Structure 1
Amino acid sequence: MSTPPSVTPSGSTGRIARSAGAVSIAVMCSRVLGLIREQVFAGFFGAGYAYDAFVVAFRIPNLLRDLFAEGALSAAFITVFSQYDAKRGPEATWQLASNVLIFFAILISLLTLIGMYMAGPIVNLLAPDFSLVPGKTELTVQLTRIMFPFLLFVSLAAVVMGMLNAKGRFFIPALSSSFFNLGSIVGGLTLAWLFPRFGQPAIAGMAWGTLLGGALQLMVQLPALRNIGFRLRVHCNLADPGLQRILLLMLPAIIGLSATQINIFVNTNFAASCAEGSVSWLNYAFRLVQLPIGLFGVALSIAIMPILAKQAAEKDMASLKQTFTSSLILVFALAIPATAGLILLAEPIIRIIFERGAFTAFDTLQTASALSWYACGLFAYSAIKVMVPVFYAVGTTRFPVIGSFLGVAANIIIIILVIDLMQHRGIAMATSLAMSCNFLFLAIILHWKLAGLPLKYLLTGLMKILTAAALMSVAIWALVQVLAGWLTGPTLLQVFGLGLLITVGGGLYVVALQLLRLPECTLLTDKLVQRLRRS
C-alpha cells in the first residue's frame, strides 16, 4: 500500500529519531544505573520493613516533583521559552529564564519547609497501616524529612533541562539523571555503611544519598547552560507576562497531574494494606517498566516538544499532525514488542536483577506478577508522553486534565473490585487499565482537535507492528521452553540465556518490520545505511 502524502515520514521524523536516539542513550545509562541502585536496595534491604518505609518516604517529594519538575513546569516552560526564543530575541528570553529560576527556587523552598514540618501527618495519610508495625511510621517520617529538599534540586534541574532542550541540547540533560543515580549509589552506600556505627538506621544513609544525587542532577547541567549563553540575573518580577503565561499553562497541567498523584496515593494506600512487601514488589516492578518508558516514551516526548512548539507557533498544522502521527507509530513500534518481552520474560528478568541477598525467590515471583500487569499498559504510558505535548503546542491543556481524572475513576473502581482477590497484582492491573482509558480518551480528542487523524495509516502501521510482535513472541516462547534449564541455573548461564532470548526476539522483530515495510522503520533503516556507506 502506498503511503498517503500527508503522512509520509519526512525530515522531521529523522530529526526526532536522532534527537530521541541521543536522549535514549543517556536515558539508558540512567536506567542501568537506576537498576543497579534498585539491586543495592534489594540486596541490602529486600522487600519489607526498611524498604517499604523508604519507598513511601521518597514517594512524597516525588509526588510534588511530578507536578512541578518533570511534568507541568517542564512542559509549560519549554512552550513559552521556545516562543520567546523564536519571536522576542535572546535578551528577553534569558531574562525570562532568570525570572523563572528565581521564582520557583523561592516557591519550592517554601513548599519544602512546609513538607518537612508536616511529614508526620502526610505519612499517616499516605500509609496509615504502617502504624500497625512498631517503628515503621517513625522511620518513614525520618526518611521523608531527609529527602524532601530533593524536590528543590530536581525542580530547578527541570527548568535548566527545558532551556537546554529548547536550544537543541538533549544529551547532557538526559544524562543528568545518571548522576542522580550515581550519587544515590556511591553516597548512599557509603553513608549506609557509616550510619549504624552512630546509632542511625542504614536506610537513612540511602536517603541522604538520594538527596546528594538530586543536587548532582542539577549541578552537572550548569556548565552546558553557561555554554549556550545563559547568565543568571537575580530578580523576581511577578508581573512578567512570560512567567504568568507559564503559570497559566501549568495550572491545568497541575490539576491533571494531581489526578496521577491521586492514583499513586490510592495505590500506595491499598498496597500498604496488603501483605508486607507489597509496596516494595510494586515499586521494583514499576522501576523496571520505567526503563522502556524512559527509553522511547520520554525520549520521543523530549525530542518532539521543541518541534511541535515551533510548528504551532508558525501555524503549520499539517506538519504538526505529520510529526505527531510518525511519533505515535514509533512509540507503538517500540512499546508493543517491549510489552510482549516483559510479560514473557518477567521471571528471568527479576531473578537476574534482584534475586540475591535479602531478596528471595518468593519476592521474585511476586514482583514478576506485578511487572507483567504493569507491562500491559506500557503502550498507553508511552503514547500519552507523546500526546500531551501536542495539547500544549495547540493550547488546549484542559483535555489531558479530563483524561487524567477519568483514569483516576477507572483506577479506583477496578482496585475496589479486584483487591481482595488479586492483592498487589490487582493494583498493577488497575494502573494499566486506567492509563489505557486515558489514552483512548486523548486519542479521540486529538482526532477531533486536529481535524481528523490518518486512521487508515495508523491502523495499517499498527497491524504490521502487531504481526511482527506476534512472530517475535512465538519465537521467544519456544526458546524459553528450550532454555528453561539455563534460566534457572547459575547466574552467568541465566544472563547468557536471557541475552540470547532478547537478541533473537529483537532481531526477528526488526526483520519482520522491514519485510512488512513499516514506513517509519524503513526510513530510519535507509538513513542508517546511507550513513554507513558514507563512512
Structure 2
Amino acid sequence: MFILFTLLLKISGLLRDMVVAYYFGDTYQADAYLAAFIIPNMIFLFLTTGMKNAFVPSYVEAKEKGGETILFNQLWKATGMISLVLAFIGILFSPVVIPIIYPNFQGAAMTLAIHTTMIFMGCIMFVGLNAVFEAYLDAESKYIFSVISQIIVLGTMISAAILLASEIGPYALAIGYLIGTIVSLLFKIILVYRHQMFQLATKVNWKEVRAFFVIFIPVAITVMVGQVNLAVDNIFASYFKEGVVTYVNYAKNLVHFPQAIFAVTIGTITFPLLAKSYAKKKMVQFNNHLEQGLMVISYVIFPAIVGMMVLMPSIIRLLFERGAFTAEATNGTAVVAYYYAGSVLFFSLAVIVNNGLYTLKKGHMLMMIGLGSILLNLLCNWLFTSWIGYIGIPLASSVVGLCYAICCYGILSKQVGGIFTKPSIIEIGKMILAVLIMAGAIVLVGEIRAFFTNSLYLIFAIFVGIVIYALCSYILKIQLFYFLLKYRKKQDHNRSMLEEES
C-alpha cells in the first residue's frame, strides 16, 4: 500500500511538471519558476526529511522509556516557532539573494523569480509543523498518511495552475503550494489529535529541545546537500541559453523517479527496523536489515534505471511534448537525462547506508561528506561545463554521486564491520547480467517501433523488459525474485483463508 501511494505521489509530481511544461515550455517563465523553487525547497527538505531522519530514532528511544508524548509536544511547538522566524527572514531577504544567485536573469524573469520565491518562503512555517507531524506518523509506521498529505499539496498546485496559470502565470503554482501546505497540516492535525498526542498546555523546555536539535541540524544539513547541489546545477545552467534550467530540472526529476519510488520507499520502511534493532542492541539483526535493504534496492533500481535510459526520448515525448514544450525541448532534456543516470544509481544505494549512519548517531560524519560533495560539485561543474557545455552539469552530479556513495559506505562498513557477504556479491552479479539481457531485448523491440504509436511502443517495450527481467531472475536463480514470489503466494494464501473464514 505504501509503494502504491508513493507511486501515486510521484505520478502527481510528474503531472505537475507536465502542467508546467504545457503552459510555460522551456521559456523564461519556466526557468524563473524552477529557479525560484530551489532555495525554499532546500529549507523544506531541511525541515521535512531532516526531521524524519532525526526524529524516528529519538522517538523510538523515547518510546522505550515512555516519554514519546513529551518529546512530540516539545518538538512541534519549538519547530513552529523556529519555522515562523525562518519564513520571515526568507521573505525579507529574497529580493537581495535571488539577484546574487541568478545574475543572468533580467527584467520579467528576475521579477518573477523574486516574487515567486517570497511566496514559497511564506510556506516555511506550515512546512515546519508538517515536518514534525509527518515524522511522528512515520515513527508509528503510518507512512501512508504522510504520503497522502504530500499528494494534497501537489493536487492544489496542479489545480491552481489549471485555473490561474493563464491569468497570473507561474505565481499560480506558488499560491497552490501555500494552500496545499495549510490543508495538509489540518489533515495531519486531525490524525494526530485522534491519537491523543496533543498537550497544548505543556511549556517548551528549550534545554531538551536544544539536545534534539544538536542531532537534527547535522542530519538536516546532510539532507539539504542534494538540494544545494541542485541549486549549484541551476546556477551554472542559468549561464547558458534560455531553456537549459528547464532541461536540467525536468531531466533530474524524471531520472530520479525510480529513486523516489523504490529507494526512498524501501529506506522509509527499513529505517524504523534499523532504529529498533539498534535500540535493543541487536547488531546482527541491524546488519541483516542493512544488507537486505541494499539488496532489494539493487534488484529494483538496476532495471528501472537501465530501462529508462533506453527509452528516455520516448518517455519525455509522452510526458512533456505538448503545448509550449517543443521537440527541441524534448531532445535537450533527453541528452541531459542520460548523464544524470549515475547520480540516481549512487544516491539510491546511499539511502539505506545513510539511514544506518543516522541510526548510529553519525549524522555529523554525513554532514562533513555532504559539505565536501558541494565543493566537489562546484569544481566538477566548473571543469565539465568549460569542457563540454551544459552537459557537464549532469555529468558532475554523477561523479559526485559516486564519490559520495563510496565515502558513506566506507564509514558505515568501518562502524559495523562489512555489510555485503560473498553470496550477496554473487547475487548482484546475477542482477547485472539479467539487466543487460533485458536492455538488449528492449533495444531489439526498438527495431519495430515504426509500427506503433509512441504510447503503444512504450507499453510494449516496458512489458517486454519486465517479462525478460523476471525470466532471467528465474533462470539465474536470483534469491530476491524467489523470496518475493514466495511472499506473494503466502499473501494470497492468507487472503483466501480469511475469505473462507468470513
TM over 0.5: yes
Distance in 1, matches of 2:152 and 2:310, equals: 32
Match 1:55 to one of 27, 31, 34: 34
Distance in 2, matches of 1:528 and 1:352, equals: 32
Percentage of identical aligned residues: 24
What is residue 14 of structure 1 aligned with on the other side? Answer: none
What is residue 178 of structure 2 aligned with on the other side? Answer: 211
Give the C-alpha shift of residue 404 in structure 1: 1.5
What is residue 289 of structure 1 aligned with on the other side? Answer: 255
| 1:100 equivalent in alignment to 2:60 | no
Deviations 1:250-278 (A, max 9, x none): 13224434543442332121011011111
Change (3 A) 1:454 1:100: same
CA contact (8 A) 1:332 1:462 kept: yes
Q: Name the aligned partner's letter for residue 499 of structure 1.
A: I
TM normalised by structure 2 equals: 0.94
**Is there any run of 5+ residues in structure 2 with no aligned partner, and where?**
497-502
Give the C-alpha shift of residue 394 in structure 1: 1.4
**1:298 is paired with a residue of what secondary structure?**
helix
Distance in 2, matches of 1:372 and 1:309, equals: 36
Distance in 2, matches of 1:406 and 1:48, equals: 34
> Which of 174-183 and 226-235 deviates more?
226-235
> Which of 33-42 and 228-237 deviates more?
228-237
TM alignment of 1:118-517, pairs within 5 A: 118-130=93-105, 133-193=106-166, 196=167, 201-241=168-208, 243-484=209-450, 486=452, 493-517=453-477
Q: Name the aligned partner's letter for residue 101 of structure 1.
A: W
Distance in 2, matches of 1:258 and 1:533, equals: 44
Q: Name the aligned partner's letter for residue 86 of structure 1.
A: E
**2:171 is paired with a residue of what secondary structure?**
helix
What is residue 43 of structure 1 aligned with on the other side? Answer: 22
Distance in 1, matches of 2:252 and 2:390, equals: 12
Distance in 2, matches of 1:150 and 1:341, equals: 37
Give the C-alpha shift of residue 135 in structure 1: 2.1
Change (3 A) 1:213 1:423: farther
Q: Give 4+ residue runs of structure 1 displaced > 4 Å after superposition.
A: none
**2:340 is paired with a residue of what secondary structure?**
helix
Give the C-alpha shift of residue 240 in structure 1: 4.9
Change (3 A) 1:24 1:422: farther
Deviations 1:386-407 (A, max 9, x none): 1111111112222212322332
Give the C-alpha shift of residue 39 in structure 1: 0.9
> Which of 523-532 and 308-317 deviates more?
523-532
Distance in 2, matches of 1:232 and 1:351, equals: 52
Change (3 A) 1:371 1:510: same
Q: Name the aligned partner's letter for residue 224 of structure 1.
A: L
Q: Name the aligned partner's letter for residue 256 of structure 1.
A: T
CA contact (8 A) 2:157 2:172 kept: no
**2:16 is paired with a residue of what secondary structure?**
helix
What is residue 7 of structure 1 aligned with on the other side? Answer: none
Distance in 2, matches of 1:107 and 1:441, equals: 32
Give the C-alpha shift of residue 69 in structure 1: 1.6
Give the C-alpha shift of residue 471 in structure 1: 0.8
Deviations 1:141-169 (A, max 9, x none): 11111121222223222211111121121
Distance in 1, matches of 2:461 and 2:219, equals: 41
Deviations 1:40-66 (A, max 9, x none): 111111012111111111112101112
**2:238 is paired with a residue of what secondary structure?**
helix
Q: Name the aligned partner's letter for residue 478 of structure 2.
A: L
CA contact (8 A) 1:180 1:217 kept: yes
Match 2:61 to one of 70, 83, 95: 83
Q: Name the aligned partner's letter for residue 113 of structure 1.
A: F
Change (3 A) 1:255 1:462: same
CA contact (8 A) 2:218 2:364 kept: yes
Q: Name the aligned partner's letter for residue 385 of structure 2.
A: I
**2:375 is paired with a residue of what secondary structure?**
helix
Change (3 A) 1:51 1:440: same
Deviations 1:478-499 (A, max 9, x none): 101221453xxxxxx2111101
Distance in 1, matches of 2:125 and 2:471, equals: 46
Deviations 1:393-433 (A, max 9, x none): 11222221232233223322221222034333211111122
